[in-house]
């Protein structure tokens, strides 16, 4: 239960961080896409919290997803930028 809440707030914070990066003049599309991913995950996790449908698989998927995103974030940002520019 606590892990799901931590992940939900982390996802929300990550989406807000990407929004601040966009307004700070950084690349729009890579930050927008990664911010949308964070917002979707935050929405889904807050929905899980509201319905009290806690399952470990949700937490594991989110941990793996954000671990991969954070580990490869620089390469992913450059790839998305080059792909969409």
Which DSSP state fits 53?
Answer: -
Closest CA to 27 of 17, 36, 18: 18
pLDDT for 53 equals 84
Q: What is the pLDDT of residues 5-58, one digit of tens each?
A: 999 999 999 999 999 999 999 999 999 999 999 999 999 999 999 998 888 898
- Tokens, residue 33: 């896409």
Residue 33 half-sphere exposure toward CB, CA atoms < 13 A: 13
* Burial label, 18 (beta-carbon count in 10 A; 0-12, 13-18, 19+): buried
Confidence of residue 1 (pLDDT cuts 50, 70, 90): confident
pLDDT for 16 equals 97
């Amino acid at each position: 239960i606590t892990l799901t809440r931590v992940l939900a707030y982390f996802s929300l914070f990550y989406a807000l961080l990407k929004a601040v990066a966009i307004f700070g003049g950084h690349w729009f599309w890579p930050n927008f896409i990664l911010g949308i991913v964070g917002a979707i995950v935050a929405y889904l996790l807050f929905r899980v919290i509201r319905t009290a449908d806690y399952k470990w698989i949700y937490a594991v998927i989110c941990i793996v997803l954000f671990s991969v995103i954070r580990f490869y974030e620089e390469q992913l940002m450059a790839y998305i930028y080059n792909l969409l520019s």
